Amino acid sequence: LALRHDAEALVDTDLACTTLEPGVWLLARLHQPRRDHAAACAPQLDDLARRARAAGAGDPGALAAWLCGPCGFAGDRSAYDDPQNSFLPCVLERRLGLPIALTALWLLLCRRLDLAAEAVALPGHVVGRWAGGFTDLFAGGRTISRDELDLRARLAGGRDAGPWLAAASDHALLRRMARNLTLSYLRRQDATRASIAHGMASG
């Protein structure tokens, strides 16, 4: 009932005017409609940033390795389609997520640490990019090559990764997360959440 009551407000929120961090807390209302996700989870990001600094993760590549090493974050390969893999509060709790959610976590920590980083949204996979190269948070935070990106693009029907190498905006990332959730909820025959997620993805 709470979800239905809040549906109009969720759909009417303009993700184009929402940056990544408030956007991921907004999306999480699909999972828990009345929870203040920012109040509950932003301090966890602050704590992770402090711990990363103390651990000497001084560049985005080291941060990715630290997140996927000592912190235990990983890609969920056994239940990839689980909606919880898209919600940052669930990712923080379970230490599991989709490529885009793990990359979003990495980006938000990079911003807290004043580290220059961005997301690259390939077909079917999102990775991080920084001055030292590309990093795949879903694959253990390892550095990946341009050749690997080109291979992914070819598997998706493209010639190479070139058309997708522009930095993905916060809005584009949030819309893609909402599209992922739409499909996940449709497969679960959860028409209410699928409809709300679709409305958000179309914003």
- Residue 11 makes CB contacts below 8 A (sequence gap 6+) with 196, 199, 200, 203
Sheet with 125-130, side-by-side order of all strands? 118-122, 125-130, 133-136, 142-144
Q: What is the pLDDT of residues 75-86, one digit of tens each?
A: 999 999 999 999
CA distance 153 to 4: 39
Query: What is residue 14's predicted lDDT score, i.e. its pLDDT?
Result: 55
What's the one-letter identity of residue 89?
P
Query: What is residue 8's predicted lDDT score, i.e. its pLDDT?
Result: 45
What is the mean pLDDT of each successive set of 10 residues along the chain, which is 203 residues long? 51 63 92 90 98 97 97 96 96 98 98 98 95 97 95 90 95 92 93 84 74
Query: What is residue 33's predicted lDDT score, i.e. its pLDDT?
Result: 84
Distances from the Cα of 59 to the Cαs of 47, 55, 70, 72, 95, in angstroms? 17, 11, 16, 18, 21
φ, ψ dihedrals at 199, nearest 5°: -60, -40
